[in-house]
Structure 1
């Protein structure tokens, strides 16, 4: 990963967030992680726009282990890697002790597994959960 990181943390009104920019496979990638009272929002873009919007949440059962659901709200519905990306993030949020759902926006030029893996790493470095 080629990083040109400019990470900042803002915790004052209206929303606590971290933002950073990195270069992944020659594409400038902007990542913003926001913490609202009732959910997290992660925005990732190489296009300068929102792209596909996903909603991910943990569903708890009484007698079974929790399950995780990820649904596409708007955008590319035929991208299983984006759903897997959302699932990895909501699982990480859950395993870190939070039950807040996640709204994820992904606008990428490169949807390869390597790119998504690097983005997950950047998001986890800048997490707010």
Structure 2
């Protein structure tokens, strides 16, 4: 049995991985662009945390509306929903894409500053 290197093909989904400190907490961010949706995972605790789904309502080209819902996790955290709303609004306005967003936030700190830093990092490293 050989212990030589195994070469795996590249991951078939466009993605970016970031690791940055936010308010003293090491924060890992993974951004993936699938054919039918975007996935953003931001964690300071090493797990998925609260999972949200955000999408642009179809049929509203002028003054679009956005729907954000919690799939799993904390349902009483309005700041997490605001984070998802900011991201989906930016994604749809800057790219014209109507792909929905699945956002996972596993954070130690749910402050406005932390969430703004995550939104900025995702926008600066966009895949749309």
TM-score (ref. length: structure 2)? 0.88
Deviations 1:29-80 (A, max 9, x none): 0001000000000000000000000000000335862100000000000000
**Residue of structure 2 in register with 1:80 after alignment:** 78
DSSP 3-state at the match of 1:111: coil
Residues in 1 aligned to 2:42 and 2:62: alpha-carbon distance in whole angstroms: 33
Q: Which residue of 2 aligns with 1:31?
A: 29
Out of 92-101 and 63-72, give the one that drifted further: 63-72
Q: Which residue of 2 aligns with 1:14?
A: 12
2: distance between equivalents of 1:43 and 1:61? 28
What residue in structure 1 maps to residue 69 of structure 2? 71
What TM-score results when the alignment is normalised by the length of structure 1? 0.87
Secondary structure, counterpart of 2:69 in structure 1: strand
Tell me the matched-pair count.
Answer: 118
SS at structure 2 position matched to 1:71: strand
Match of 2:6 in 1: none
- Name the SS for the 2:76 alignment partner: coil
Distance 1:13 1:109 in 2: 29
Unpaired stretches in structure 1, ≥5 consecutive residues: 1-11
> For 2:70 and 2:36, how far apart are their aligned partners in 1?
19
Listed as ranges, the gaps of 5+ residues in structure 2 are: 1-9
Partner of 2:116: 117
